[in-house]
């Protein structure tokens, strides 16, 4: 799966969980500071990514991801390693 597809699907999950327009989500957007995610929503994002991509992520590593570009890279690695 290429990174463009991963990014599109990551943005879809973020838009759904945070109830924002996908157009507002930029690669450099920080989940907390730019997109307003709280700790509960951060956990929901991890669960959403796992469901969307049918993967299991290390929760501690996943929660350490701070912005959209890092999430795309992290998920692409997990997906392509599977």
Measure the CA–CA gap between 17 and 27, rounded to whole angstroms. 17
Catalytic residue among 21, 38, 58, 70: 38
Measure the CA–CA gap between 78 and 64, rounded to whole angstroms. 15
38: annotated active-site residue: yes
Catalytic residues: 38
């Amino acid at each position: 799966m290429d990174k463009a597809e991963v990014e599109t699907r990551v943005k879809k999950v973020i838009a759904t969980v945070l109830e924002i327009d996908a157009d507002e989500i930029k690669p450099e957007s920080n989940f907390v500071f730019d997109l307003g995610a709280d700790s509960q929503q951060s956990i929901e994002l991890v669960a959403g990514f796992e469901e969307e991509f049918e993967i299991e992520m290390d929760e501690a590593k996943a929660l350490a991801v701070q912005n959209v570009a890092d999430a795309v890279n992290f998920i692409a690695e997990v997906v392509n390693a599977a």
